[in-house]
C-alpha cells in the first residue's frame, strides 16, 4: 500500500498486517501548519483490486477572539448605537464557525453570564433576556473554544450597551424620549 498526501506525494509505503489487516503510519516527524490535509491510502489486494481511500485531517492551532456586532432590540433614533430602552436584550456577533463562546460582563475577567455556540457560518446569538438590566452602561466580553480545543483571548475592548428605561414622568415616542411635566 502507499499513503499519499495531496500536494506532497507519496509519504509512505508499507504492508497491512496479514491477519488483522491493520496498519499504522507514523507521520509525527512532520509538523503540519494549520490547514486541511487530504491523505489517501492506495491499496492493491491479493486479487489485484486497487482502491484509493481518501480522508481529511484538519490542523488548527489558532482561535481568534469573537466579535460583537449588535443587540436586539436597539430602540430609539439609532438602531446601532446600543442605547436602548429594552432592558432584556439579545447579543449577537461573529466567531470561528462552530466554536463555543463564554460571555462575561463587567470586565474581561468579570463574571460569566452564559455560553452560546456559533453556527457553521460563524454567527452567534446570546439570549440575555433572563436578566433585566437596570439603567446604566454595561460592558460585555467573550472568548471562544474552537472545535480543535484552542482557547481564544477575551474580546477587547468591552462591547458597551446603555440601558435607559422610561423614568417617572417620562414617556417614549418614536424618535426619542419626552419628559411629561406634571403641574
**What is the x/- site pattern for Ca ion, positions 41-60, by CB under 5 A?**
-------------------x
Closer CB to Ca ion, 41 or 101, in the complex: 101
Residues numbered 85-144 forming contacts with Ca ion, rule: CB under 5 A: none
Closer to Ca ion by Cβ: residue 96 or 104: 96
Q: Does 34 bind Ca ion (CB under 5 A)?
A: no
Smallest distance, Ca ion to C-beta of residue 92, A: 15
Rounded distance between C-alpha atoms, residue 157 and residue 81, angstroms: 16
The C-alpha cell 488548527 sits at 60
Q: Which residues of 61-70 are buried (b: 16+ CB within 10 A; e: fewer)?
A: eebebbebee
Report how many residues bind Ca ion under the rule CB under 5 A. 9
Nearest to 142 by CA among 98, 112, 172, 176: 112
Smallest separation (angstroms) from Ca ion to the CB of 80: 7
Q: Kindly tell me which of 58 and 107 has the beta carbon lying closer to Ca ion.
A: 58
- Tell me which residue has cell 452567534: 124
Give the shortest CB-102-to-Ca ion separation in angstroms. Answer: 15
Q: Going residue by residue from 58 to 77, which x/- string records binding to Ca ion, judged by CB under 5 A? A: --x-xx----------x-x-
Closest among 66, 121, 113, 65 to 89, alpha carbons compared? 113
Eight-class DSSP state of 63:
-
Query: Could you tell me how many residues make up the chain?
Result: 183
Q: Give CA–CA dist 112/48, Å, rounded.
A: 60
From candidates 36, 78, 117, 156, binder to Ca ion by CB under 5 A: 78
Interface contacts to Ca ion, rule CB under 5 A: 60, 62-63, 74, 76, 78, 81, 83, 146
Amino acid at each position: 500500500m502507499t499513503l499519499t498526501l495531496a500536494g506532497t506525494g507519496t509519504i509512505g509505503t508499507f504492508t497491512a498486517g496479514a491477519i488483522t489487516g491493520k496498519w499504522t503510519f507514523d507521520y509525527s516527524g512532520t509538523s503540519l501548519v494549520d490547514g486541511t490535509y487530504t491523505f489517501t491510502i492506495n491499496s492493491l489486494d491479493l486479487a489485484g483490486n486497487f482502491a484509493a481511500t481518501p480522508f481529511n485531517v484538519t490542523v488548527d492551532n489558532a482561535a481568534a477572539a469573537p466579535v460583537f456586532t449588535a443587540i436586539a432590540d436597539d430602540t430609539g433614533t439609532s438602531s446601532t448605537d446600543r442605547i436602548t430602552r429594552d432592558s432584556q436584550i439579545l447579543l449577537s456577533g461573529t466567531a470561528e464557525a462552530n466554536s463555543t463562546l463564554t460571555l462575561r460582563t463587567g470586565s474581561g475577567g468579570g463574571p460569566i453570564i452564559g455560553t452560546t455556540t456559533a453556527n457553521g457560518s460563524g454567527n452567534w446569538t446570546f439570549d440575555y433576556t433572563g436578566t433585566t438590566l437596570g439603567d446604566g452602561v454595561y460592558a460585555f466580553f467573550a472568548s471562544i473554544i474552537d472545535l480543535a480545543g484552542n482557547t481564544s483571548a477575551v474580546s477587547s475592548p468591552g462591547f458597551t450597551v446603555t440601558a435607559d428605561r422610561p423614568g417617572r414622568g417620562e414617556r417614549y415616542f418614536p424618535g426619542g424620549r419626552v419628559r411629561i411635566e406634571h403641574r
